[in-house]
Structure 1
Amino acid sequence: MNSFSDISPPANRPKDATPPLPLLVTGLAGVAGYNAFQFLRARFGSQVLAIRRTDYWPLSGPGIIPCNMDDRDAMRRLFDEHQFAGVLHCEGTCKLKSCELDPVMARRINVRSMEVLLETIAASDVRLVHLSIDLVFSGTRGGNHLEDDATDPVTIYGKTMVEAEELIARERPSAAMLRISLPMGVSFNGHAGAIDWIQSRFKKQKPATLYFDERRTPTYTDCLSPLLLDVLARRELTGLYHAGGPLSLSLYEIAQVVNRVGGYRPEDLMGCNRIEAGPLPPRAGDVSMNSSRLATAIGYEPFDPWPYHPEFVPTHREWHAERNGEQGSPELLAEILYRNPGRRLI
């Protein structure tokens, strides 16, 4: 398997993009932050650092610093020591049920951390790029959301992410905010990503129930990470942009892809509508995003569709059971669903 430094960019993306250095990446435990850090660290070495929660000791290695973002004194000491010129802010707790049960915790991580970061960089020209989420929408208006659509989240997670967006727009207008969807890539612990949970059920031959009517616009991290590098380098790019993939899929369809490509038992995939699920946590509907504003602003389409191969896009609800002699496997899944076959150098 190729390394992070082997990802080939779109032909018209500047190959010499350089972010403000030294650079800090936050939210290392999440899929987007973990992959972005690996990608950027491979290119710029010790000039790229990351922080993780002090209690999350298994996540360690070169360039990784334990620091809680809501600790004002610790953050001030961190910036005084390293004099960061840029911050890629991927921090946030996206565990929907945990946020509903503990909204104080959700606000501390998703909003208070941003407040402390903005206080820390207030008197500087640090370049800030912040990752938000498609779940700032309820998904009740037919999807294909534009940046100017009114936010109406149904979860505590979504509400705190809206609060963070509003805070940045008010206090740091020079920042760029990207609303992402489901980042498809490897995770540090093997449990943080959308593919991880679905595959974990199938591996154990346990049922996985996904929704027919919750739709997202997933992206490969092999596409997202180079985009984040480019956005960091473009200080003139400010404000809010959608950064979802070109293909809208329901959670059920995503699970169909994982089931078939991974060669798992078709009967272990179950489906239902959101109304048939329990009340906690609330579920959004079609929160698919239109990302044409971003593509226009940077001059190229940053995302390939997930999945990359069109033959692995579901066409009906029993599609995953139609193997047609295909030999799916976890190895194939890792090769073409966690990684983007179209963004590697041969």
Structure 2
Amino acid sequence: MAAPVLAPAPGSVGRLVRATVLAVVVLLMAVALSVAFGSRPIPLGTVLDTVLHPGRQDEIGLIVLGNRVPRTVVGLLAGAALGVAGAVMQGVTRNPLADPSVLGINAGASLAVVAGIALFGLSGTAAYLPFAFVGAGLAALLVYGIAAVARRGLSPVGLALSGAVVAAALSSVTTAVLVTDQALLDQLRFWQVGALAGKDLGTAGVITVPVLVGLVVAVALGRSLNTLALGDELAASLGQRVVLVRVVGGVVTVLLAGSAVAAAGPIAFVGLAVPHAVRRLTGPDNRWTILLSAIVAPALLLVADVIGRVVAYPGELQVGIVTALIGAPVFILLVRSRAVRGL
């Protein structure tokens, strides 16, 4: 039997389309802010002229093409990856508290990258990427295993508690490795908290393929996640291959979260806050939630990055700190809400 789809109510399709268009406009505005604002504001006309004439070698050309455009592109990819990873995790686990940072996946990827650098002298995003995938996957399995044998089991709060324990433990090990190697600490000081600064287009090129593959599979998975929301038994009776959907969802999450961590470090709470925000517009339909998360999350990340550049002038507050300040209150509200019972 074909899996049912949560069809939008009559008249709601237009509302969802309008919400998508609005999200795209907001994203374009965030991109404009990202390339125009910083320690030295540059008019958008000058930015556009510089992008269209990339041979420019003056100070403005170096700022725009050497700094702001690459970090904006990395922010777009990492933001979309984190937002969609959170949406998929919440759909697969039916857990409104699911997020790569809350469930320890980012911490696992981060520890694996740091260990790879310390043990094998890794350098560059291309070398970080496979270690980030392995670390993220092992952390996900560890969290799931701990939650499965714990008293609260695989409930939303049980998974969140298991993830918090694993994230704290892995982050402690990462910190221990860093503090014993001053050179490594200096190298990863900003990456450890999540940063877009100092990225180049090579970084974007490394993660483009895994992020795009993850996004495409995630969008295709939306229909199955809608069926999974009905409960495992009912989903199975309707012909849904529940285990396969969860495995594919887990692989997509590892692919997206690992790519984001390898490129920008363990940025927290984007995957938690954004799906909940867009779900107020999309309702329970995961297809629309995933689509809008891929648009809204990079907008949030870029705006947070711009805020970090402005509030700490002439220095810079790394984007991972800003997103944590935004996401922590959201997490607290969700824990206190009845919504933690499940999606």
* Structure-2-length-normalised TM-score: 0.27
Higher relative contact order (CA 8 A, sep 6+): 2
Query: As a proportion of its length, which structure holds more helix?
Result: 2
